Amino acid sequence: MWKTTKKLALRLVPQRRAGGIWPAFRGDRWHVPSSQLGTAGATFTADRLYALPICVPVTAVCQALAVNVTTADPLSSIRLGIYADSGGVPGALLIDAGVVSGATVKEASLALTRWLPAGWYWLACISDDAPVVTGLNTATVSLLGVATNIGTDVNNGVYIDVAYGALPDPFGGPVTYFAATIPTVLLRATAGLEDVSDGWHITQNIGEEVRLQPPQVSGRYYGCPLITAAYNTRTLALVDATMYAMLFYVNESHAYDRIAVHVTTRTVPSNIQLGIYEDSAGVPGNLILDAGNVSGASTGGKEININQTLARGWYWLAAVSDSTPTLRTYQGSSMFGWLGATSGTDTAYYGGMSVAQAYGALPTPFTAGAVLTATGVPRIMLRAT
């Protein structure tokens, strides 16, 4: 936390070593929603207000919003803005930046000046017609969770249908989650606290208030947020008597009412024991919850009712089977390099850890000798309450 002390000083010194979840924003770069990568053309649906989550890692001054019009639509207009986050969805309107033309192929930007304290926000856009702009596609990191325990879509953002015009305040709802290529707004902002010409001063930490993931939304299923969507659809036949563990993140103390896996190919008979482990310096530690078992003898989403509150931090979701059912899986480079490599020449990317363990009640602590696994770990999800 930042300690705030009221003094007469008018100049604030920025933190040298950034602690935000991403490197600080820079005024010479255009920033996009934090989780997203590939680009493609995205056609506006008229009178649809889109919003994409973006993490401002370090308190910054917003300088501009932009879209890149790739196919013009005569007489079309695009309105841009920024919403505050409200429990994992867009909330209060912070900035209605104004309108750019969609009638010409060009990079269209709107200048603005606004502090944004570190945190999660939603970049918003709406058009009165159907121009095409550069969009970010579905291959995103799994920040927003999925709607069902068999969901493989990875949502880029949300939308509501509303008449084109001044941006509504608040955003409104219920929102619809959007998994296709979504029109993308870019933000140009520069970190730092030195410019206080308007007499306003930040009084809270510039890094610690930011979490890796926006708040989790009740009723949605969450796996590891560091997984890329391209690998959200892979499957793996479990090795019997092998216990698998995958990372799970809790951004704020939260209660969960389901633990779930997706059986894609059944094995008769088979069972899968599920549970939750503490993190112990980067590896699974003590058992928090042995949730019991689900059947792997039929396909579909399989889940167990739980009543488990987890404090903010990292956990490991675990599964062990008595046979070889095939489950939806996190695999390979889906994990980036967060789990590290075993040597300087190791080119594998690891999805989790595994260890030999007889099927049955889950042990505590996690069985010793677990190793990184590049062949995949079951995608285990928790449903947020």
List 61, 97, 144, 186, residue binding another protein (CB under 8 A)? 186
CA distance 330 to 247: 10
Size of the site for another protein (CB under 8 A): 90
20 lies in the site for another protein, by CB under 8 A: yes
Minimum CB–partner distance for residue 163 and another protein (Å): 27
- Least separation, in Å, of the C-beta of 196 and another protein? 9
Interface with another protein in residues 234-293 (CB under 8 A): 247, 249, 279, 281-283
- CA 157 → CA 18, 68, 90, 91, 181, distances in Å? 27, 18, 10, 14, 10
End-to-end CA distance of the chain: 28
- CB under 8 Å to 300, separation ≥6 — which residues? 150, 262, 263
Question: Would you say 134 and 41 are in contact if contact means Cβ atoms under 8 Å apart?
Answer: yes
Residues 83, 360: Cα–Cα separation, whole Å? 48
Residue 369 touches another protein, criterion: CB under 8 A:
no
Comparing CB distances to another protein, the nearer of 211 and 266 is: 211
Q: Is residue 18 involved in binding another protein (CB under 8 A)? A: yes
Within residues 303-362, the interface with another protein by CB under 8 A covers: 312-314, 333, 336-347, 349
Q: At its nearest, how many Å lie between another protein and the CB of residue 319?
A: 19
Q: Is 212 in the site for another protein (CB under 8 A)?
A: yes
Among 147, 162, 202, 297, interactor with another protein by CB under 8 A: 202
- Alpha-carbon distance of 181 to 319, in angstroms, equals 33
Q: Is 359 buried (19+), middle (13-18) or exposed (0-12) by CB count in 10 A?
A: middle
Using CB under 8 A as the binding rule, the residues of this chain from 82 to 111 that contact another protein are: 107, 109
With binding defined as CB under 8 A, does residue 146 bind another protein?
no
Angle at 88 between CA 85 and CA 92, to 5 degrees: 30
Among 74, 180, 208, 305, binds another protein (CB under 8 A): 208
Smallest distance, another protein to C-beta of residue 356, A: 20
**Window 43-62: residues binding another protein (CB under 8 A):** 58
In the three-class reduction of DSSP (H, G, I as helix; E, B as strand; rest coil), residue 55 is classed as: strand
Specify the stretch interacting with another protein by CB under 8 A; choose among 10-18, 148-156, 254-262, 302-310: 10-18
What is the maximum span of the chain, computed from C-alpha positions, in angstroms? 73
33: preceding bond cis by omega (within 30 degrees):
no
Q: Check binding of 28 to another protein (CB under 8 A).
A: yes
Q: In angstroms, what is the minimal distance from the CB of 320 to another protein? A: 22
Query: Quick one: tokens of 227?
Result: 């997984």
